């Protein structure tokens, strides 16, 4: 979201409440305090999080992390990177505010893809996004991949449908670019305009399994692109290939892809070119 924290904080807070009501009670159980020590997310903890998000006065950054577990990765996580982009001394030209909500694969299996898609729509409804997505992903709070980098690298190479992300780093630089083509891809302005608008999307994504849904406008047109009923992991060991619609969306987004900074991605490979190839894995 290419908007300052003060402009999006209340919308992000309402989206967080939507997420809380959709997941099991107590699924989010922990948060790090200002010293980085994990604290139980009880009523007192929730009040602390509310005040931190809505009453933030520090004119640069409001970082919030909520996790299912404090000592291991869980399927339910919330991350928010709120930045005061309009502060006079803010130097990151392409910085954004960004938010992520994660669900375990079991949630998708139990509730079905239509439910997850409806939840993603509800979460996005009030957010002034330029770009967003939903995908299978390897989840690690705050992108702490290092202890499992061999396993992460093997899974990344076998399953190109798995996303790998570090919200804090990407949100510093992505501006109004795209991060890739995904099962659910959200596009808002100005990126949607650069892609030629809804009519151009309809022309290039005219597949039976693709749907385009217009979201209520906030500050211009917004659309959700759905590529099929289920997300694709794409197991290359089973000779699976990306779907034609995924490749078509990748082709459309090619010129507008954000290049990840190597300071967090190079733990997988020492070759910066490897990062570029992975980002463009669904592009021609």
* Alpha carbons 83 and 57: distance in angstroms, whole number: 11
Q: Can you give the C-alpha Rg of the chain in angstroms? A: 18
pLDDT at 240: 95
* Alpha carbons 49 and 30: distance in angstroms, whole number: 11
- Of 201, 214, 208, the C-alpha closest to 249 is 201
Give, for 55, the enclosing helix (H) or strand (E): none
Q: Please state the domain extents for the chain.
A: 1-112, 129-284
Residue with tokens 């217009």: 214
CA dihedral 40, 41, 43, 46 (to 10 degrees): 140
Burial (Cβ within 10 Å: 0-12, 13-18, ≥19) of residue 83: buried
Write out the chain's pLDDT in tens, 284 residues: 999 999 999 999 999 999 999 999 999 999 998 888 899 999 999 999 999 999 987 776 899 999 998 877 779 999 999 999 877 555 678 999 999 999 999 999 999 999 999 999 999 999 999 999 999 999 876 656 666 778 888 998 999 999 999 899 899 999 999 999 999 999 999 999 999 999 999 999 999 999 999 998 887 899 999 999 999 999 999 999 999 999 999 999 999 999 887 667 666 666 777 888 889 999 97
pLDDT at 112: 98
* Alpha carbons 229 and 235: distance in angstroms, whole number: 17
* Alpha carbons 74 and 218: distance in angstroms, whole number: 33
């Amino acid at each position: 979201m290419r908007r300052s924290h003060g402009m999006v904080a209340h919308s992000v807070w309402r989206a967080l409440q939507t997420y809380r009501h959709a997941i099991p009670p107590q699924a989010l159980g922990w948060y790090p305090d200002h010293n980085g020590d994990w604290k139980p997310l009880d009523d007192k903890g929730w009040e602390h999080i509310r005040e931190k998000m809505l009453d933030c006065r520090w004119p640069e950054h409001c970082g919030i992390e909520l996790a299912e577990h404090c000592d291991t990765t869980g399927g339910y996580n919330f991350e928010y990177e709120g930045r005061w982009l309009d502060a006079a001394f803010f130097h990151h030209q392409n910085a954004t505010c960004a938010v992520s909500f994660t669900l375990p694969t079991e949630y998708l299996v139990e509730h079905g893809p239509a439910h997850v898609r409806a939840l993603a729509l509800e979460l996005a409804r009030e957010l002034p996004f330029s770009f967003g997505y939903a995908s299978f992903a390897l989840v690690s709070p705050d992108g702490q991949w290092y202890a499992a980098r061999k396993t992460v690298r093997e899974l990344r190479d076998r399953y190109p449908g798995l996303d790998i992300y570090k919200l804090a780093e990407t949100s510093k630089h992505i501006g109004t670019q795209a991060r890739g083509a995904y099962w659910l891809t959200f596009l808002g302005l100005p990126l949607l305009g650069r892609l030629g608008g809804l009519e151009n999307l309809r022309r290039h994504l005219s597949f039976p399994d693709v749907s385009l849904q217009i979201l209520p406008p906030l500050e211009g047109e917004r659309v959700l692109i759905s590529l099929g009923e289920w997300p694709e992991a794409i197991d290359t060991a089973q000779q699976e290939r990306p779907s034609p619609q995924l490749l078509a969306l990748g082709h459309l987004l090619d010129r507008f892809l954000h290049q990840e900074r190597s300071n967090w991605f190079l733990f997988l490979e020492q070759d910066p070119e490897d990062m570029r190839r992975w980002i463009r894995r669904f592009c021609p």
